[in-house]
Structure 1
Amino acid sequence: MKELIETIVKPLVDFPEDVRVDASEEDHRIIYRLSVSKSDMGKVIGKQGRVAKAIRTVVYAAGSSMQKKIFLEIVE
């Protein structure tokens, strides 16, 4: 799943080397934390959060076969 998130985000940003995805697993959920360069934050979020919503939709759909709920957080 980390590779999927990186594959989606890296072409969108100016500094792909700064893209990091960290995962933490709890009882019935997996939280992926996406961090990008501060100057690329707007590109990942998009106007009115549309890009972020689209990324989350793809990630949630890819993880729907897992038995755990998946969350994607975009952090600075």
Structure 2
Amino acid sequence: MKELIETIVKPLVDFPEDVHIGVIEDDSRVTFHLFVNKTDMGKVIGKQGRVAKAIRTVVYAAGSSQQKKIFLEIGE
């Protein structure tokens, strides 16, 4: 899943080397924390959050086969 997020996000940003993903796993959920360069935040979020929503939709669909709920948080 981590590789999927990186594959989606890295072509969108100007500083792909600054893309980092942290994972926190609990009994019933997995939370991915996406960190990008401060100047790339607008590109990852998009107008009215459309890009972020699309990324979350793909990640949630890919993780639907797991028994855990998937969350994606975006930060700098």
Q: TM bucket by the smaller chain?
A: over 0.9
By how many angstroms is 1:75 displaced?
Answer: 1.2
Structure 1 unaligned segments of length 5 or more: list them. Answer: none
Moved over 3 A (4+): none
RMSD: 0.4
Report how many residues are paired.
76
Structure 2 unaligned segments of length 5 or more: list them. Answer: none
Q: Which residue of 2 aligns with 1:72?
A: 72
TM-score (norm 2): 0.99
Q: Secondary structure at the match of 2:14?
A: coil
By how many angstroms is 1:26 displaced?
Answer: 0.7
Instruction: Within 5 Å, give how 1:26-41 maps onto structure 2.
Output: 26-41=26-41
Report Cα offsets for 1:1-44 as digits up to 9, x if no partner.
00000000000000000000110101200000000000000000
| Identity over aligned pairs, percent | 79
